Structure 1
C-alpha cells in the first residue's frame, strides 16, 4: 500500500511545479517563458497562457505555475505569473487593480471610485471622447489645439461670455470734447 501511495504522490508531483521566470518572449501570438522550476529543473520556451483581454510581460524573477498534462514534462504551460516585488498592497476587500513596477496603476476602489495614477495619460480615440458627467475638475490648465465649442454658457470667476458680449455691445466712451461717443459700430 505504501508503494502505491508513493507512486501516486510522484505522479501528482509531475503534474505541476512552482517556477521563477528567467525570460519572457512577448513577440509571439502566445508568449513563451523560460522558467526555473523546483529542484533545479529548467524549462525553456513554455507557452504562457493568459486570460482573455489581459496581457503583461513580467520581469525576470516573477513567479508562476507550470502545468504538465498527464505529467509529461516535455511539453508544459505556464499560468498565473505574478510579481510580489511590485504588487500593490493594502487594497480593501473587493478592490481590483492593474499596476506596473514603475508605480502606474488603475485601481477600482470601494465606493464606485476609479483612480488612475501615472505621469502622462493618453487617450487615443479616432472619433470622439464622451464624458457623461455633471462636472469635470482640474487643478491645472486646459490646452486645446483647436477652438473650444460650447453648447452652453462659458464663464470664469468674474462673469460669463454672454455678459461680457452684452457689456461690450452697449458700452460708450467719454469723448475728447466732453461728449459721449456712440455705441460700437461692430457688435461682438
Structure 2
C-alpha cells in the first residue's frame, strides 16, 4: 500500500519540481506578437518557442546568454512561459533605494533618481514630437555648437522687433534693420 502511494505521489512530486526553472537564452524571435525564446534549461533540455511575458509599455530583446525564469503550468514542460529575463553582464548597479532606471548594454540610461531625472545617451538623443514645452526656473545649455532651424524664432516671448543678424544692414542712427530677415524677434 505504501509503495502505491509513493508511486502516485512520485509523479506529482516531479511535476511540482518541474514547475519553475532557470534557463539560458539562446535565440530570440521578436517578430511575433508575443516574443519567443529558445531556452536551454537543464544540461540536456532545450525549449523552442517559449513565450516571453513583458510588462505593458516596456519591451527588450535580450542577448544570447541572458538568464530567464520560466514557469510550466501544471509542471508540464510542453508549454513554458518566460516571466523574467535578466542579464547580469549589463545590469545597472549603484542605484539608491527607491531609484528606477531603464538601461541597455551600450550604456544608454534613463534614471529616475532621487535628485534628478537623468538621461544618458552614448551617441545621440532624439526627441520627435509635434510640440515641446519646457518650464523651469533656469536652463543651462553647454554645447560646442547650437543650431536652430526655424522660420520664426521669438526671444523673450511672442512678438517684438526683429533682431539684426551678422551681415544685416542696420541704420545706426535709428537702430532699425534696413535689410535682412525678420525670422528672429525679441521682446
Using the TM superposition, give the Cα deviation of residue 138 of structure 1 relative to its aligned residue in structure 2, in angstroms: 1.4
How high is the TM-score relative to the length of structure 1?
0.76
Query: Which digits, 9 at most, give the CA deviation of each residue in 1:113-133, with x for residues without a partner?
Result: 1111112000111x2111122
The 5-angstrom pairing of residues 1-40 of structure 1 reads: 3=6, 8-40=12-44
Task: Tell me which residue corresponds to 1:84.
Answer: 88
The yes-or-no answer on 1:108 pairing with 2:97 is: no
Q: Distance in 2 between matches of 1:6 and 1:131?
A: 64
Using the TM superposition, give the Cα deviation of residue 148 of structure 1 relative to its aligned residue in structure 2, in angstroms: 5.3
The one of 150, 153, 168 aligned to 2:154 = 150
Q: Distance in 1 between matches of 2:139 and 2:10?
A: 65
Query: Considering only aligned residues, what root-mean-square deviation do their CA atoms show, in Å?
Result: 2.4
The one of 171, 177, 187 aligned to 2:176 = 187
Q: Is the 8 A contact 2:15 2:75 kept in 1?
A: yes
The one of 40, 45, 56 aligned to 1:41 = 45
Secondary structure of the 1:19 match is strand
How high is the TM-score relative to the length of structure 2?
0.77
Q: Distance in 2 between matches of 1:17 and 1:71?
A: 10
Secondary structure of the 1:10 match is helix
Structure with more helix by fraction: 1
Using the TM superposition, give the Cα deviation of residue 29 of structure 1 relative to its aligned residue in structure 2, in angstroms: 1.0
Task: Tell me which residue corresponds to 2:142.
Answer: 139
Structure with more strand by fraction: 2
The yes-or-no answer on 1:120 pairing with 2:109 is: no
Q: Distance in 2 between matches of 1:69 and 1:152?
A: 63
- Structure 1 segments unaligned to the other structure (5+ residues): 154-160, 163-167, 172-182
Using the TM superposition, give the Cα deviation of residue 142 of structure 1 relative to its aligned residue in structure 2, in angstroms: 2.0
Pick the structure with greater CA Rg.
1
Task: Tell me which residue corresponds to 2:58.
Answer: 54
The 5-angstrom pairing of residues 143-182 of structure 1 reads: 143-147=147-151, 149-150=153-154, 152=156, 171=172
Secondary structure of the 1:11 match is helix
- Structure 2 segments unaligned to the other structure (5+ residues): 158-162, 165-169, 178-187
